[in-house]
Amino acid sequence: MSEAGPPDILGSEEMSFEEFVAASSGRLFTLARLLTGGHRAEAEDLLQGAFERAYRRWGRISRGGEPERYVRQMLVNASVDRWRRLRRHPESELAVSGADLGTADDTATVADRDLLLRGLAALAPRQRAVLVLRYFEDLSEAQTAAMLSCSVGTVKSQAARGLARLREMTGETADRDASAISREGTVRHD
Amino acid sequence: MTDFERRLREAMAAATEPPPAGLIDGIRRRHRRHLWRVGAASLAAVAVAGIAVPVGAREVSGRSGPAAASPTAASPTATPTAAPGTVLRDCQSSEGGTVSANWQESSVRAGPVWFIFMRPKNGSQPLASGKLTASAMVIAITNGKTAVVTAGPATAGRYRFLATFNSDGRPYAMTEGAPGLTLAGCPAGPAGTNIPASYAPGLTLFWEGYVTDLRGCIPLEVRTSEASVPIRVTISGAGCGSSA
């Protein structure tokens, strides 16, 4: 996996703040929603706050050429701060109801995705953030560790535990992917 | 990558949805609240530290005195560069925002430059040594103008401008600052500015940090060109107080 991370949508020095928001807000809003476990209001608040901080320093940020990376870091920092304010955020129970599944579409795929996202939302915030950064942002373990200000070992263990818990909550049989988790608890990526 | 991880990745990728409507307006409203809070906090800090003194302080247009650092080219279309020994703040590093009504009454003007909410309340407190502190103030310059701000000779290099400042309480050293500040306003007119015209029409705003171990009302000098005489003003500092 590349150490550079996902490229910014736009990095031009000449880009206006409004253009940047228009180009990046869709993906960043999705990131915020995933980080907050699907809470739309919280996600909007996080995103608006991160963009506002970027606006204060827009000249320097846009000159740096990676404004989206900056805002992404602000989003993660803000979500980490939120966890700290809440002190201990207990893991939520995942309500699995057959009637709730596949409400948007009856296909198995949609139902499966819905279940996975609700399982993700029910994880502890830190485990959720690790999984979102690893699988939505495609960051490497080192990049994820840097963004969360923790060690690579912590990222590995949080990812392994998060995936295991997600499997358990979604009724997935661990045997299917058991080979992917080493005895040290690390997740193997092809 | 396992099948489970692949499905999780696909689920996240499929979770996209359009951003909330009115996001830009929300960001601007939030930014205005931020500027209001910053301004109010600065005024409160100055008011708490203020000492009433009897002699009225007024901004003075100086006609003599040692020359300050020379400003760079005044053309708004030229790429601004910092005068020697100064920190450059230009359109790219400006902060958009609003200032409250009647802000001029509490501010100090020196040619095209405004030190917002920095007018000394009622005195010119002599400079004295004190604890090293770092803070920030709002400075504005007329769009299209360039000026160089330096601390007055009386400060003996003990008042310095910071290239960046975060009000997170971390200590700043005097060596981190520069003795002068080059201000370059955004180009006149709406094109090329990051500040919506409705926020602070005609002005480019900066949130400028400084570090000093002085107490009292701070003398500053502003020059708008290499040949111009410095405009001398006094702004409120620790132990001086503002009129707001």
A56-102 pLDDT per residue, tens = 888 778 777 788 888 999 898 888 777 665 554 444 444 444 334 34
Residue B103: pLDDT above 80? no
The nearest CA of chain A is from the CA of B57 a distance in Å of 33
Q: Residue holding tokens 């579409």? A: A105
Q: Encoding tokens for residue B22? A: 């009115």
> What are the structure tokens assigned to B2, written together?
């396992």
Segment among A80-84, B20-24, B135-139, B191-195 with least mean pLDDT:
B191-195
Helix axes A67-85, A125-135, angle to 10 degrees: 160
Cβ separation of B23 and A17 shorter than 8 Å?
A: no
- How confident is the model at residue A29, as a pLDDT? 93
Q: From B218, B224, B19, select the one nearest B133 (Cα to Cα).
A: B218
| Residue A34 DSSP SS3 | helix
Does A152 contact B at CB distance below 8 Å?
no
Burial class of B119 by CB neighbour count within 10 A (0 to 12, 13 to 18, 19+) = buried
Helix, strand, coil percent values for chain A (each to nearest 5): 65, 0, 35
Contact A52 B30 (CB under 8 A): yes
Q: Which residue from A18, A34, A62 is facing B12, i.e. has the nearest CB?
A: A34
Nearest-Cα distance to chain B for A90, in Å, is 22
Contact across the interface for B34 and A56, Cβ inside 8 Å? yes
| Chain B contact for A131 (CB, 8 A cutoff) | yes
Q: Residue A185 — very low, low, confident or very high, per pLDDT cuts 50/70/90?
A: very low
Question: Residue B73 has what pLDDT?
Answer: 34
Query: What are B54-80's pLDDT values in tens digits?
Result: 222 222 222 222 233 333 333 444 577
Terminal Cα-to-Cα distance of chain A (whole angstroms): 9
| ipTM for the predicted complex | 0.72
Torsion of CA A140, A142, A148, A149, to 10 degrees: -170
- Integer-rounded Cα Rg, in Å, for chain B is 21
Closest chain A C-alpha to B157 CA, distance in angstroms = 27
CA-nearest residue to A167 within chain B is B4
Helix (H) or strand (E) holding B219: strand B218-223
Q: Does A166 touch chain B (CB under 8 A)?
A: yes
Question: Which residues of chain B have a CB within 8 Å of the CB of A172?
Answer: 4
Residue B10: its chain A contacts at CB < 8 A?
113
Run of H or E including B160: strand B159-161
Residues of B in contact with A15 (CB under 8 A): none
In degrees, rounded to 5, the angle at the alpha carbon of residue B163 between the alpha carbons of residues B158 and B164 is 110
pLDDT digits (tens, 9 = 90+) for A90-139: 444 444 443 343 444 456 777 778 888 888 988 888 889 999 999 999 99
Long-range contacts of residues B156-159, Cβ cutoff 8 Å, at least 24 apart: B158/B212, B158/B213, B158/B214, B159/B210, B159/B211, B159/B212, B159/B214, B159/B218
Does residue A165 carry a pLDDT above 80? yes
By Cβ distance, the residue of B10, B23, B95 closest to A113 is: B10
Residues with Cβ within 8 Å of B101's Cβ and at least 6 positions away in sequence, in order, are none
- Interface check A26 vs B, CB under 8 A: yes
Q: What is the pTM of this model?
A: 0.48
Q: What is the pLDDT of residue A174?
A: 53
Per-residue b/e over A106-131, b at no fewer than 16 CB within 10 Å? Answer: eeeebbbbbbbbbbbbbbbbbbbbbb
